[in-house]
Chains A and B, each alone.
Chain A
Amino acid sequence: MQIARLDSTAEKASLRRGLAIAEARAICPGVDVLPLDNGADRVFLGAIADWCGRYTPLVALDRHDDGLLLDITGCAHLHGGERAMLDDLLSRLFHMGVEARGAISSTVGLAWAAARFSRPDIVIAQGEEARVLAPMPVAALRIDIEANQALNRVGLKRIGDLLSAPRAPITQRFGPEPLLRLDQALGFEKEALSPRLPVPGISSERRLAEPVVTHEDILALAAQLARGVKTGLEKRGEGGRLFQLLLFRVDGRVFSVEAGTSAPLRNPERVAELFRERMESFHDDLDAGFGFETIRLCVLKAERMHDEQADFAGDPDAERPLSAFLDRVTARLGPGSLLMPVFAESHMPERAAVFRPVDNLAQLAPEPVAPAMAPSAEFLPGARPLRLLSPPEPIEATAEVPEGAPKSFHWRRAFHRTKKAEGPERIAAEWWIDGEDAPTRDYYRLEDEMGRRYWLFREGLYGREQGHPRWFLHGIFA
């Protein structure tokens, strides 16, 4: 057992990483030891990364998940400059109980090094890179431990030593990494940040002097933000398909509420309406606590939207109420609650038509399908049941002859005596899905004495496929 992480108080008591716990206790008897939990650390870092979304949408996790990288290009002026922004970020984190160090520089490598190896909270101006970097140890170059030790062994302890050394022998001896990292830190080599979350195309934000708590206030603000988003969407000729409302709570927790639409949308009232349904479906899960201080609306997915000119007579929104209804239901009850039949080219009844969630209004076909093309055109009237049981229910059936229709059967413990029967309709299994030895089904339409009509099948053929084929009830006719 050894120390994996420690805070600055512990560092002051001359503890360090890699020290055994027993030794640490000997040095500092009052030390508080907690077992390392990488998963929880990652979740916590993710939560802080979400919170950092208030400064910039481009937030990335560090290589070993032990730091955050923020691309603040073009964002600093919104927070009063780089210095003010760094101070604000660190002081807010301090008040949330997080001990953080930060640095702002023109390259990722330099900021990483400065936050860890230089005096804390430094803003490095452009052109100062080499000067700041020179006194730092080579470990500040983000190289692995072996390379670090190898460099130290030959006396290259500071980055300044590397800067003045000839490049070719170093590459030959230590590989390309140390110099690549050096070039990246100095800005000679490009290095891209890969942000944690996709950057929304359009977003709109409100910072509040007084935190809001109630749903009504949040929704009113969402409507205001939607108005801001609308102009952006109009400029691009697009409508949003997926909206996200980010709620930054005072204590640093960030809630994200997403709402999808069935057709491109930019009407602010309807966007707010979507979030109303989403919030109502949350019930108590959205804990406002002491309130939300920042609210942001992002458009995560947008699609081209055909603008229709309103005229005096007609109403271009005739299809609109349906899409509004679909959105409302989907926002409240989830995408699986509204379904549409989708037909497939299959003889197996359970595959010929399946219900799929409606996620696009265009699925409700605007033009009728030609009757000859419809999947039901190939059947006699009444050859397919109105209800299908899924999966088919096993029954006990008695047939007069092995290959014939059942004379009587038990379904759900009730006895049915067959009056009339039609069939068989033989449907072979689809070997490309079910496998080569899947049994054939012989379907029968039966009518019992009371006039109930059922669809039964025998799984397998006598003699050829199975010794004792089983019977199933698959559907119920009108």
Chain B
Amino acid sequence: MAQAAFADERLVALRQAIARLEAQKSQSRFFSGKLASGEKAAGVRGEPHPALLSLGVPSFDRLLGGGLPLAGLTEIRNGETRDIGAATGFTAALAVLCQAESKDRRHSVIFWIAERQATREAGLPDGVGLQAYGLDTSRFLLGHPHRITDALWMAEAALSSCRFAAVVLEIRSNPACFGLRESRRLHLRAQASRIPLLLLRQSGEEEASSALLRLHVCPAPARARIFPEGQALPGSIGNPVFHVTAEKSRAIAPAGFLMEWNSNDRRFYECDAALAPVGPAYSLAELSASVGRPRIEDEMGKVMAFNRAS
């Protein structure tokens, strides 16, 4: 009898806790976890809902809960360095959308912070290429610091002092000095100043971070160029297509989306599933994933938080 009452009490306590969390979520849907009072004040002041940026692909928007949040940290990562084109393209497309979204021209500057090691490995963004991609390059600033700590300082200064349309922080792999704490700091700054911070992680591992979303971007075969009459030009390489998987999001993520970026219309289009990327024609495995130890997949649901990858 007493035991049943005790169980009841625990159940009620748990229900109350869930109700509290739900209430908090409805108040600020992009806040998770426990909040210190100071953080709360910094995070959501004024309007409770941060603006959302629709990507033009309804199913993907639904996954993001309406669109890309225009405040806070979003992480975009790719697997191997040679895939960096796709991740860069997706990030640049988001930057173009953010730039188009900002009403005031004075506030439409895109600030791209590329740490030196990252650009040494994958090259600098090209001005002509970015312009052809749809970006207004006269409102484009490139931060090129030598060290990661300088890049982080730059990002924080940019978020706290200025009204940029978007800040892109490009780093390579999982540096030790950019862990959960640092990403949370940047995330809160970005939320407080209502600037989207896009973290482009070159060939990085999954890692616990404060990002609202973590998207894994893979390259996907492009469709053929389309003539104005509607015919396809066989053998040609058309608009870039990305295979985007949401690794961390509020909603349950399906396998992935194929999205095509049209730089003339400056928007994404959904691609047919029939064009989904297939594996290589030869059936051998691409590369063994682990080095020095066998890779054993854990059971689903066991991982509470990723370990530090660095």
The residues of A with any CB-CB pair to B shorter than 8 Å are: 318-319, 321-322, 324-325, 328-329, 332-333, 336-343, 349, 352-355, 358, 364-365, 368-369, 374-376, 379, 381-390, 411-412, 414, 417, 419-422, 445, 447, 449-454, 475-478
Chain A CB within 8 A of B85 CB: yes
Identity of the chain B residue whose Cβ is nearest the Cβ of A380 in the assembled complex:
B225
B 80-118 to A, binary, CB cutoff 8 A, 1 in contact else 0: 011111101110110000000000011001000000000
- A387 and B88 form a contact (CB under 8 A): yes
- B129 and A387 form a contact (CB under 8 A): yes
Interface members, chain B 18-62 (any A CB < 8 Å): none
Contacts of A376 in B (CB 8 A): 128-129, 131-132
Chain A CB within 8 A of B208 CB: no
Contacts of B171 in A (CB 8 A): none
A478's partner among B88, B136, B139 (CB-CB below 8 A) is B88
- B132 and A476 form a contact (CB under 8 A): no
Identity of the chain B residue whose Cβ is nearest the Cβ of A454 in the assembled complex:
B85
Contacts of B106 in A (CB 8 A): 318-319, 322
Contacts of B154 in A (CB 8 A): 329, 333, 337
**Which bucket holds chain B's interface residue count?**
35 or more
B136's partner among A321, A368, A419, A449 (CB-CB below 8 A) is A368
- A364 and B109 form a contact (CB under 8 A): yes
A355's partner among B124, B138, B236, B280 (CB-CB below 8 A) is B124
A454 to B263, CA, bound (A): 18
- B133 and A478 form a contact (CB under 8 A): yes
Q: How far apart are B258's CB and chain A's nearest CB, in angstroms?
A: 10
- B221 and A374 form a contact (CB under 8 A): no
Chain A CB within 8 A of B309 CB: no
- B141 and A339 form a contact (CB under 8 A): yes
A476's partner among B85, B220, B238, B242 (CB-CB below 8 A) is B85
Instruction: Summarize A's interface: helix, strand, loop or mixed.
Output: mixed
For the complex with contacts A322-B162, A420-B221, A452-B219, 8 further pairs of A-B residues with Cβ separation under 8 Å are A321-B162, A322-B109, A340-B142, A375-B127, A382-B237, A389-B123, A452-B83, A478-B133
Contacts of B126 in A (CB 8 A): 349, 353, 384-388, 475
Knowing A375-B131, A449-B281, say if A381 contacts B263 (CB, 8 Å). yes
Chain A CB within 8 A of B249 CB: no
Knowing A329-B157, A358-B141, A364-B141, say if A478 contacts B85 (CB, 8 Å). yes
A195 to B238, CA, bound (A): 65
- B123 and A477 form a contact (CB under 8 A): no
- Quick check: which of B6-14, B143-151, B177-185 contacts chain A, the rest being far away? B143-151
- A387 and B122 form a contact (CB under 8 A): yes
Q: How far apart are B246's CB and chain A's nearest CB, in angstroms?
A: 19
A451's partner among B161, B222, B281 (CB-CB below 8 A) is B222
- B89 and A478 form a contact (CB under 8 A): yes
A293 to B222, CA, bound (A): 69
A375's partner among B92, B128, B157, B280 (CB-CB below 8 A) is B128
Chain A CB within 8 A of B63 CB: no
A383 to B225, CA, bound (A): 12
Identity of the chain B residue whose Cβ is nearest the Cβ of A448 in the assembled complex:
B219
A453 to B219, CA, bound (A): 8
Identity of the chain A residue whose Cβ is nearest the Cβ of B243 in the assembled complex:
A451
- A337 and B127 form a contact (CB under 8 A): no
